[in-house]
């Protein structure tokens, strides 16, 4: 059993095309706004858990529990 067994698998006969930013209803946040003042890590509270979002020296994002 995979860790994602609870999530239904969505299949479509046509590939999904990404929405242009103006048409996408999801909130959008620029990573530069999170990592101001030289910070390379932010804390994200989700329910009773705290996650760390870290910006690496290579410019990649890592999410840690």
Full set of structural domains in the chain with CATH? 33-64 (2.10.70.10)
pLDDT at 48: 97
Task: Count helices and strands (H / E) in the chain.
Answer: 1, 3
Confidence band (pLDDT; 50, 70, 90) for 2? Answer: very low
More confident residue, 9 or 61: 61
Report whether pLDDT(1) > 70.
no
How far is residue 21 from each of residues 24, 38, 53, measured CA to CA in Å? 5, 27, 23
CA 35, 37, 43: angle at the middle one, nearest 5?
A: 40
Model confidence over 5-59: pLDDT tens digits? 444 555 555 556 676 767 888 898 999 999 998 999 999 999 999 999 999 999 9
């Amino acid at each position: 059993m995979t860790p994602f067994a609870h999530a239904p698998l969505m299949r479509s006969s046509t590939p999904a095309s990404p929405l242009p930013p103006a048409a996408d209803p999801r909130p959008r946040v620029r990573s530069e706004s999170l990592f101001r003042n030289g910070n390379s890590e932010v804390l994200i509270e989700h329910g009773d858990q705290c996650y760390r979002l870290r910006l690496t020296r290579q410019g990649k994002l890592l999410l840690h529990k």
